[in-house]
Amino acid sequence: MSEFATRLLAWFDDHGRHDLPWQHPRSAYRVWVSEIMLQQTRVETVIPYFLAFIERFPDVRALAQAPVDEVLHLWSGLGYYARARNLHQAARLLVERHGGAFPSERDALEDLPGIGRSTAAAILAQAFGQPEAILDGNVRRVLARHAGIEGWPGSPGVQRRLWSLAEARVPGLRMADYTQAIMDLGATVCTRSRPDCGQCPVAADCVALARDRVAELPTPRPGRALPVRTRWAGLLHAPEGVYLERRIASGIWGGLYSLPEREHSGELCDWILSRWPEARAIASPVKRIGHVFSHYRLNLQILPFRLPPGACGIMDGEQAIWYNSRLPVRVGLPAPIERFLREHGNPE
């Protein structure tokens, strides 16, 4: 066992997180769900979502048999909804290809939607005790600082170096504990800002600390200004509720129900009046929804309309619903849209 792993495991025994809900029991299914939820999301945020998800879908077969709308509903608020769609599709493939069991080979796991190298390794290490290296955001930060690795960790060259370091430090035993330990170190001690180097078990030979470069490493992603994208959405009130339509499966908020959108206000008005000629615009202060995605800022301008009686007779099969915020149906909604509907989803 490497000296790095020895010190890290000793620290973990006294200071690591031992009571996370996916640790008891630490089954492949629970580890998998937690790893997908934890991608770009903090543990504190994930825990209540994980508990609700596992209560509704206690195993792979329950998840595979569920409607995707219900899966997305329980994911609403976590963001990055492709994760939920991939989780649902992967569950179906696990049942179809493996009888609902998790394969213990990395290639077979990586062949499933949404499972990359690090996620597959985390499942194998934590659920099967296999000697596999992981490289999530917390681990990249720990290794970049400890070894003094320059460059943005998302670049291919730096990533290759970090994978080599991660593999070299893997112990031959206590893989579940070691994997959790290195994630915990990054999440609780070697944090992005204000790291507590005095409590770090591997500080003695940390290159970044020795060279007073902890604040500089890992190298931040090259800066870029996010473009602003303006879209127009219709808030269409009817006695039955607000008209929502399902977005296409790919892209932002894919597969979720949301307000109908168009690129231009005139295009949106033309579409509304072509379907409901008696629709009337509601005079109200301008409403908007602002939201920041990874690659742009959304400026969603809202046009409210009151629809005529009987509007619910015009639908697009299962691709549209009438949503009542007082009695919400169990479908997936983008968190900004859900918040907006709670406040503005009733006729004025």
Q: Enumerate the active-site residues.
A: 35
SS3 262: strand
List, as one string, the DSSP characters of 87-118: HHHHHHHHHHHHTTPPPSSHHHHHTSTT--HH
DSSP bridge partners of 305: 236, 281
Residue 104, both tokens: 């213990």
Residues 93, 99: Cα–Cα separation, whole Å = 9
Q: Which residues, 6 or more positions from 33, have their beta carbon under 8 angstroms from its beta carbon?
A: 22, 50, 53, 54, 87
Distance CA 39, CA 272 (A): 38
Residue 17: strand, helix, or coil: coil
Helix then strand then coil, in percent of the chain rounded to 5, is 45, 10, 40
**Mind giving me the DSSP string for 205-255?**
G-HHHHTT-TTT-SPPPPP-PPPEEEEEEEEEEETTEEEEEEPPSSSTTTT
Buried b (16+ CB within 10 A) or exposed e, 117-133: ebbbbbbbbbbbbbebb
Q: Are 4 and 169 in contact (CB under 8 A)?
A: yes
Nearest to 235 by CA among 323, 163, 310: 323
Task: In whole angstroms, give the CA distance from residue 313 to residue 246.
Answer: 17
Tell me how many degrees the CA angle 23-26-32 measures, rounded to the nearest 5.
100
